[in-house]
Amino acid sequence: MSKELDLQNLEPVIISLGSHPGIIQSMLDYNYCLGHSAPNLVAIVSAGRKQERFFWGHDEIMVPVYAKLAKVPEQLRQQATGLLNVQSARRVLASMTETFELLPNLQVANIFAEQVPEVHALQVAALAEQHDVLVAGPASVGLLVPGVMKLGAIGGTQYPQLVAANIFSGGDTAVISTSGGMVNELIHTVTGAGLGVSFALALGGDRNPITTPAQAFLLAESDQRTRQIVYFGELGGDDEYILADLMKSGKVTKPVIAYIAGTVAGLFDQPPQFGHAKAMAANQSESAQAKKEALRTAGAKVMDVFGELATDLSAQAETGSHQAKPHRPIKQRSKAMIVSRISGDINGGVHLLGKELLSVVNENSLAGLDISLLLGQQITSPKVIEFSDYILRLLADHGPYVSGAVNTIVAARAGKDLASSLTAGLLTIGPRFGGAVNAAADAWLEGAGSDTEPKAFVAGFTANGGIIPGIGHKKYRIDTPDPRVKALTEQFSNNSNGDRYLKFAQGVEAVTTSKKANLILNVDGTIAAMLLDILESELDYSPDKLRELVDIEFFNAIFILSRSAGLMAHYLDQRRHDEGLLRLGEDDITYIPS
């Protein structure tokens, strides 16, 4: 535990390992009620999602989610001073080991899971001491520093509970408890008596808490706001004897008011096991009564009945000694069905990409607006907009022979409406038509990103009998290249910035065309490679961000957006001709009886 930790001046920047919506929302609510301008929880490490929705007051916000702690941006990891760990008990050792390595400025942490293997808890304790970090847990509801930070479920998980606890302003009484449930009871007891809490710490109910009661007492002793300590302990172990020695030696000089639970165990013939792993007296010295006497001898005020604690605190409290601090209130709220970063109404006016609609329209070309909408942010790079404009025009149509056009034409001649006919054409887009742009982007990103040699890359596909997306054409060959590919590379190559994805794709083409002349880099593969290069060089997209674009089919969206114009053109063309239903003749089908 940090020997120099200043809880009252801690600047919390918190990362959560795992997601526990109730606990996280309560931390955000506390943060908001204090009047802070932004949440102090900056990231969640969890699988499955890229972000999670929470309330910041009455507004909904998105907290970024990362699959691994190492994926959290370096800047956030450097800033992080607090950690909430709500992962399972079996993952605590591995996750905390990684945490100490990747969060160099970590000061406080809360481990929520209970029944962490004892050997793991001891290893985490050694690491915490080595890295000088205060860790509440395992099996802890966390740490509360009124007016500064709520880390964990401590103080309540609902807004009304936070208000009832009166914990928005600090006082002079430190609350230290081995029990998570009792720490909240003690907080209410202290504030209900007219006093205030300087900090509250739930040590944790497992057999080997990372922070010991002795360490917590020394923290309270050094805390400038703390005048006295209220302590809840239990039968079992020898912690209270260590506390008594600290008081006798003068290392703890502040008044201590204590209650030790488990006196009833003396009524049983065999020592019973209470709710916490450590709460069982193996001998007389570990009994609650013996511990009470040890603390009394050392100078602590020890209560025999828990209710006496409230009476004693009320008696020492001066009228008005702790006034409830006004807080920013939270009224009734409900989650929206949909979150959009693209558009919405603000004060009755339509906004697009964060600005008023007409200003966005006036500031953008069609291609600029389209690529901005697809990327979810206003794009100002002339090269990105120019390239987008070119490929949108380039892909608009490629004749009535492809499946999308054929389906659209068939539906149009069957008398279907525009939307139905367009949909019929779009539904044919997939791995054999149109969908190769996204698949090729996936392949180039993986190949170039892992520094795979093109020859090995091709061999991997060949061994699995797969077709390399973005490679091959029925009409064009190495000696009769696709003019669209030539136009793209001549106008938009990015040699000054490396063109690493395009060069990788061209390296693959060199291998495949040596085997067969028509296994060329086609227009889909070229667009995919060049888009990766341009997004990386012009917009600083990282490999992870490019991977996200692949995963959400951004590259297919480019093709669908462009080709929709061509498909609608074919629909309108057929309606103008009005030739009636298209029916295949006998010569168009070869019937082979089974």
> 191 with 166: CB under 8 angstroms?
yes
144 by Cβ neighbours in 10 Å (0-12 / 13-18 / 19+) ranks as buried
CA-based nearest residue to 42, from 13, 62, 17: 13
Report the distance separating Cα 187 and Cα 470, nearest Å.
Answer: 64
Give long-range contacts, CB 8 A cutoff, 24+ apart: 182-187.
182/232, 182/261, 183/141, 183/154, 183/232, 184/141, 184/154, 184/155, 184/156, 186/230, 186/232, 186/309, 187/144, 187/154, 187/155
Cα dist. 95→24, 84, 116, 186 in Å?
18, 11, 12, 31
- Distance between first and last Cα of the chain: 80
Cα–Cα distance, 256 to 248 (Å, whole number): 12
523-539 helix and 436-449 helix, angle to the nearest 10 degrees: 60
Amino acid code (one letter) for 411: A
Q: Which letter, b or e, does each residue of 15-40 get, where b requires 16 or more Cβ atoms within 10 Å of its Cβ?
A: bbbbbbeebbbbbbbbbbbbeeeebb
415: tokens are 């008398």
| Cα separation, 187 vs 285, whole angstroms | 29
What is the set of active-site residues?
A: 276
Strand pairing of 143-145 and 149-151? Answer: antiparallel
Quick one: which of 55, 16, 28, 322 has its CA closest to 162? 28
> Among all chains, which residue has been given the structure tokens 């006496």?
308
Strand partners, 102: none
CB atoms < 10 A from the CB of 8, how many?
A: 16
